[in-house]
Amino acid sequence: METKTKFELKMGMATREAFGRTVVELGRQNKDIVVLDADLSKSTYTHFFAKEFPERFFECGIAEANMIGIGAGLASSGKIPFASSFSCFAINKGFEQLRVAVAYPNVNLKVVGTHSGISIGEDGPSQMSIEDLGLACSLPGFVVLSPADEVSMRALVEAAAAHFGPVFIRAGRPKVPIVHSNQQRFEIGKSVQLIDGRDLTIIATGLLVAEAIRAQETLDAEGISARVVDMYSIKPLDRQAIERAAAETRAIVVAEEHLVSTGLGVRVAQVVAETRPCPMEFVGIEDTYAESGTPEELLEKYGLLAHNIVAACRRALTRK
């Protein structure tokens, strides 16, 4: 497992773009890969696939429920469909179809929700997906993945295609820093320890992984040794990594761009409660909808930046 103490965060592409580019590569290798979109292909980057494989791309119009159902039918006939839209639309408008047509019969459909969280920015809450991880995790049998950067997105789109069964992949709108090396391996149900530490563990996912790394640097300067884990597999969870963090560092902070009530944090807390109970703190969106603003302004206002993670770490340490 790779560990570093000093990180240089170089800006990479948005995870949605990494998805769009990777699914084209998969399409070249496997003719059973097909893609569906609901009038957002320029935003989800599935237009790359549409251009190269027009006969394997299905533009469904603004009709997400039908898109998920068609994807289920394609999968039932042996295709490996990736259905993509903004996360809020794919998950919320397609939820009943994800339940009965996909999860319940265990159909091999991949759903990629882009523009997740509040970092979509100016478009506001109707386009923001802050419930998607909770909803996707509530579907029995679903694998739920939340990559932090282009490197992990690329690997996890490949892992999703190789896995038989329903998968939800969460992608974001903004460009994000690259936190993983190109040599890093990613597996469904695993995590990556980016930085080792003794005093506590920050478990983060998606956009908040880079913030966790920045928080670690601040804590390090104060003499606090924080472990940083990228928990990209929300379901199944890497229970061993969580138990190890609880046992070895005795305090855990979870950080995510999602409602705290239904996201990664509560799932980690369940594992901690079942194994090595220890103080925990949670950084995420409280019980509210956000508003319009720049992504930076929103992350600041809704408490999703490195300094919020640092504050949560201090709270956790006082409870040790």
CB of 142 to other proteins, least distance (A): 15
Q: What is the 3-state secondary structure (H, E, C) of 171-204?
A: CCCCEEEECCCCCCCCCCCCCEEEECCCCEEEEE
Tracing tokens 């820093």 back to the chain, one arrives at 177
Taking CB under 8 A as the criterion, the residue among 13, 92, 106, 239 binding other proteins is 106
SS3 103: helix
Catalytic residue among 8, 17, 64, 297: 64
Closest to 165 measured CA to CA, from 150, 145, 190, 147 = 145
Taking CB under 8 A as the criterion, the residue among 18, 26, 91, 101 binding other proteins is 101
Question: Which segment (44-52, 102-110, 188-196, 241-249) binds other proteins by CB under 8 A?
Answer: 102-110
Q: Which residues of 231-265 are buried (b: 16+ CB within 10 A; e: fewer)?
A: bbbbbebbbebbebbbeebbbbbbbbbbbbebbbb
- Per rule CB under 8 A, is residue 100 in the interface with other proteins? yes
- Per rule CB under 8 A, is residue 29 in the interface with other proteins? no
Q: Which is nearer to other proteins, 61 or 277 (CB)?
A: 61
CA atoms within 13 A on the CB side of 29: 9
Residue 211 annotated among the catalytic residues of the structure: no
CB of 127 to other proteins, least distance (A): 20
Taking CB under 8 A as the criterion, the residue among 104, 140, 274, 294 binding other proteins is 104
In this structure, the chain runs to a length of: 320
DSSP 243-286: HHHHHHHS-EEEEEEEETTTSHHHHHHHHHHHS----EEEEEE-
CB of 57 to other proteins, least distance (A): 11
Mark residues 64-83: x for contact with other proteins by CB under 8 A, - for none.
-xxxxxxxxxxxxxxx-x--
- Per rule CB under 8 A, is residue 141 in the interface with other proteins? no
Range 246-275, binding other proteins (CB under 8 A): none
Question: Which segment (8-16, 52-60, 213-221, 265-273) binds other proteins by CB under 8 A?
Answer: 52-60
H helix runs in the chain, sequence order: 15-29, 41-44, 47-52, 64-76, 87-88, 95-97, 132-137, 150-162, 208-221, 239-249, 264-274, 295-301, 306-318
Lookup: tokens for 108: 């091999």
Pairing of strands 110-114, 226-230: unpaired
Lookup: tokens for 313: 């770490």
Q: Which is nearer to other proteins, 73 or 277 (CB)?
A: 73
- Per rule CB under 8 A, is residue 58 in the interface with other proteins? yes
CB of 46 to other proteins, least distance (A): 16
CB of 313 to other proteins, least distance (A): 45
- Per rule CB under 8 A, is residue 61 in the interface with other proteins? yes
- Per rule CB under 8 A, is residue 180 in the interface with other proteins? no
Q: Which is nearer to other proteins, 75 or 179 (CB)?
A: 75
Q: Name the β-bridge partners of 83.
A: 36, 111
Three-point CA angle 237, 295, 118, nearest 5°: 45
CB of 30 to other proteins, least distance (A): 13
- Per rule CB under 8 A, is residue 27 in the interface with other proteins? no
CB of 269 to other proteins, least distance (A): 31
Pairing of strands 252-259, 167-170: unpaired
Residues catalogued as catalytic: 64
Q: Which residues bind other proteins (CB under 8 A)?
A: 34, 55-56, 58, 60-61, 63, 65-79, 81, 96-97, 99-101, 104-106
